[in-house]
């Protein structure tokens, strides 16, 4: 399976997927830590996370898959939602909570 197929399988097989640096329990960058904290505050359980630092092919592949240059990247129900700044704004406005609870 090539990396694009693997990514597609990950984002379509799991309701909430976070491509991040590190793990939810040990984020390796502030932006990833921010998104993890927001998801926790929204009551997300069962998060499927992918540590892009452990796999250079996925780290580059996810940027190509979404056409988005930065990590972290959040997917909900197979759809790319955004990175740290977008997730923060959606959380502040209440849009993220609505999306996660729909």
Predicted confidence band of residue 1 (pLDDT cuts 50, 70, 90): confident
31: number of CA atoms within 13 Å, CB side?
Answer: 15
What is the CATH architecture assignment of 3-100?
3-Layer(aba) Sandwich (3.40)
Between 46 and 24, the higher pLDDT residue: 24
Please tell me what DSSP assigns to residue 21: S
**pTM of the entire predicted model:** 0.96
- Domain layout of the chain by residue ranges: 3-100
Q: Are 72 and 20 in contact (CB under 8 A)?
A: yes
Q: Are 59 and 21 in contact (CB under 8 A)?
A: no
Q: Pull the structure tokens for residue 100.
A: 């996660």
Q: Which pLDDT value is given to residue 101?
A: 85
Query: Is 42 part of any known ligand binding site?
Result: no
Q: Which pLDDT value is given to residue 46?
A: 87
Per-residue pLDDT tens over the stretch 32-90: 999 999 999 999 998 999 999 999 999 999 999 999 999 999 999 999 999 999 999 99
């Amino acid at each position: 399976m090539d990396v694009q197929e693997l990514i597609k399988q990950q984002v379509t097989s799991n309701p909430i997927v976070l491509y991040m640096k590190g793990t939810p329990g040990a984020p390796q960058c502030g932006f990833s830590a921010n998104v993890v904290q927001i998801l926790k505050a929204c009551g997300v359980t069962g998060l499927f996370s992918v540590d892009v630092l452990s796999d250079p092919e996925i780290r580059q592949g996810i940027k190509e898959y979404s056409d988005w240059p930065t990590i972290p990247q959040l997917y909900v129900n197979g759809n790319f939602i955004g990175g740290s700044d977008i997730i923060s704004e959606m959380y502040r406005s209440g849009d993220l909570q609505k999306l996660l609870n729909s």
